[in-house]
Amino acid sequence: MHRYGEAVLADLPEGSLLIAHTDLDWNTVRYLRTCEGLRPDITHLSFQLMPFPWFKRQARLYPNVTFPPRFEGISTNKFSHGNSVLVYKMLDFNIDKFPAVFIDMQAVNEAEIEVGGLWNGGFHLVPSGNLYRVYRALDNGLQAGKWVDQIDTDLEQFKTKTSIPDVGQFPAGSWEFAALSVYWDAHYQAGLFYLTWALALSHKLDENALPPYAMALSRASDLLVSTLRAYDTHSALTSSYSDLIKNTVLCVVRLQGTLEVVDQFRETLAFPPGAQGRLQDPAAAKAVAVELVRRFVREVPGDKDVQVFRDYLSKIEAKDRAENGEDDSSQGEEKGQTSAKVTNGQAKGKKKKKNKTKATAKDKVIEVETLERHGGREL
């Protein structure tokens, strides 16, 4: 727990405001600052204490902080309207007073977070290790793409400075298990940030948007799949399993289709140097997608979008049969082509005429399977 608290404090900019929601972050950081004198420059508060009438006496200990007056319905239940109002007012009153403001990821209802971390129209909540760094929504017109590299950096720094508790030694209900849940929350929320950014890019997908779209999906897939695999081992996550598996499946399905397009037009797409090497292998991505879609269909048969995923499996299986010569298919007449019967992978009869116009990535990206988001962070 000592190492966990150190990891929380390690990379906060000097003079930051840190507002905890969980006892885990409040107690570990408070101990290190009070008993060991770490990071005296940080202002550290807890949302959990603010609703109590007696807190106004403690508020005097923080002369650099403006606290909202108590109001009817004030709450620290993150699913309540009272909690949203409390968090919003605290951020609104104080974000301009500090070089940086951070809150626990568990302080807000993730269903209220939109593309680019936009929360309640007023702030961006950007994953930073196990915390959200808060920005005003209109600050310099910041957009999600400007934060993606920093999200990766912050998460890697957090991972190197903390440790994963042994679940066998520390069961559910222990502080160590709570730290493990927060560790995987950090991965999951970073993955959702990348995924929602990718979905935003997909609305205007062309050759220019395809590289960042593919990279965002690839990174989201890494994070979401690793979180799902970890959940299978210890179930340490504060978000629901149904959201986790559905968001993961949506991500890997989109990624599989996207990588096929990228592979086809690899030489014509403008990726940053070295970026293509970080993308998954198309065949490996397909195997993961098929595995997880089958699992989702089996485990969540009542989901309202399950038929979309069943259709995906049917298309993949039909394509595999055709490529393996297990199924005859015919292609009707099209402009610039003659009809050709294909059996066992070999064309018989007349040869097709070549198209005069070569297909481009822009033509192909529209074929990537999509699902519309349908509320909250369940996409």
Q: Are residues 3 and 94 in the same domain?
A: yes
CB 311 within 8 A of CB 330: no
Q: Are residues 212 and 306 in the same domain?
A: yes
Structural domain for 2, as ranges: 1-163
Q: Are residues 91 and 217 in the same domain?
A: no
> What sign does the dihedral 144-146-147-148 (CA atoms) show?
positive
Average of per-residue pLDDT across 21-28: 94
- What pLDDT does residue 203 have? 85
Q: Are residues 202 and 285 in the same domain?
A: yes
For residue 49, is it within any domain?
Answer: yes
pLDDT in tens, 44-75: 999 999 999 999 999 999 999 999 999 999 99
For residue 11, is it within any domain?
Answer: yes
d(CA 248, CA 315): 20
Domain boundary among 128, 163, 198: 163
Domain boundary among 113, 129, 163: 163
- What pLDDT does residue 377 have? 52
Q: Are residues 112 and 219 in the same domain?
A: no
Q: Given the DSSP bridges, would you call strands 131-136 and 101-104 parallel, antiparallel or unpaired?
A: antiparallel
Q: Are residues 143 and 193 in the same domain?
A: no
pLDDT in tens, 90-145: 999 999 999 999 999 999 999 999 988 999 999 999 999 999 999 999 654 446 77
d(CA 33, CA 102): 17
> Looking at the 3D structure of the chain, how many domains does it have?
2
Q: Are residues 304 and 213 in the same domain?
A: yes
Q: Are residues 151 and 206 in the same domain?
A: no
pLDDT in tens, 190-225: 999 999 999 988 888 888 889 999 999 999 999 999
For residue 339, is it within any domain?
Answer: no
For residue 130, is it within any domain?
Answer: yes
Domain boundary among 117, 134, 163: 163
When the pLDDT of each residue in the chain is averaged and rounded to a whole number, the result is 85
d(CA 197, CA 221): 13
pLDDT in tens, 328-377: 444 444 433 333 222 233 333 333 343 444 555 555 554 454 444 433 45
Backbone torsion region of residue 117, taken as left when φ is above 0, otherwise alpha when ψ lies between -120 and 50, otherwise beta: left
Helices within the chain (DSSP H only):
2-10, 23-35, 55-59, 81-94, 148-161, 175-201, 210-234, 241-264, 282-299, 306-323, 361-364
| 100-86-19-133 Cα dihedral, nearest 10 degrees | -40
d(CA 51, CA 73): 9
Q: What is the pTM of this model?
A: 0.86
